[in-house]
């Protein structure tokens, strides 16, 4: 059996009614890694913030966006992927301050990057040893 981390990908329509589906999936996946309930709630909120912004912007060329969850031993990596440039201007609006402050406070890393054809937004949360 391969030792590479498992990745779970989901493709969601740019529709508000499916943001709760992303939260539910995130909850199950974070629980699988061993995060406690409080941290799982934080992850759900951060994911929901990005999904809401994506849904708000929509896309001209794609009906769906993708969320990839990579389950590492002590970390959850989450990558939002969109072929459109929707992600590029995701948090450019002054009204996005609330959303940005929440995501950066709740997640360990939060970054926007681009490849030749895709716009990616990545965030991660590391499992902390209980002291």
Partner 1 sequence: MSSELNFKEVQSENLYELYVSGEVDIYTSQVLKSKLYEIIDANQKDLLIECSELNYIDSTGLGIFVGALKKVKQYNKQIYISGLKDNIKKLFVITGLDKLFIIKE
Under the rule (CB under 8 A), what is the footprint of partner 1? Answer: 16-17, 19-20, 23, 38, 41-42, 44-45, 48-49, 51-52, 55-56, 95, 98-99, 101-102, 105-106
- Quote the least distance from Cβ 67 to partner 1, whole Å: 15
Question: Judged by CB, which is closer to partner 1: 51, or 82?
Answer: 51
Rounded to the nearest whole angstrom, what is the least distance from the CB of residue 77 to partner 1 in the complex? 21
CB of 79 to partner 1, least distance (A): 20
CB 8 within 8 A of CB 71: yes
Residues 6+ apart with CB under 8 A from 55: 14, 15, 16, 19
7 or 101: CB nearest partner 1: 101
Q: How far is the C-alpha of 6 from the C-alpha of 66, rounded, in Å?
A: 16
Would you give the distance in Å from CA 33 to the centre of its chain?
Answer: 16
Take residue 125 and report the two structure tokens written for it.
């949360």
Q: Which is nearer to partner 1, 33 or 39 (CB)?
A: 39
Q: How far is the CB of 2 from partner 1 (least distance, A)?
A: 35
What is the token pair recorded at 96?
């996005």
Instruction: Output 29 or 107, the one with its CB closest to partner 1.
Output: 107
* C-alpha to C-alpha distance for 129 and 74, rounded to whole angstroms: 9
């Amino acid at each position: 059996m391969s030792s590479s981390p498992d990745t779970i990908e989901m493709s969601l329509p740019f529709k508000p009614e499916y943001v709760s589906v992303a939260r539910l999936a995130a909850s199950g996946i974070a629980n699988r890694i061993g995060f406690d309930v409080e941290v799982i709630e934080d992850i759900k909120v951060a994911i929901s913030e990005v999904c809401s912004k994506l849904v708000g912007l929509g896309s001209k060329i794609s009906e769906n966006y993708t969320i990839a969850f990579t389950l590492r031993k002590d970390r959850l990596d989450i990558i939002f992927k969109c072929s459109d440039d929707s992600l590029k201007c995701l948090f450019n609006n002054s009204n996005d301050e609330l959303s940005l402050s929440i995501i950066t406070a709740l997640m360990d890393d939060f970054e926007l990057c681009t490849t030749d054809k895709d716009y990616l937004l990545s965030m991660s949360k590391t499992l902390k040893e209980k002291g």
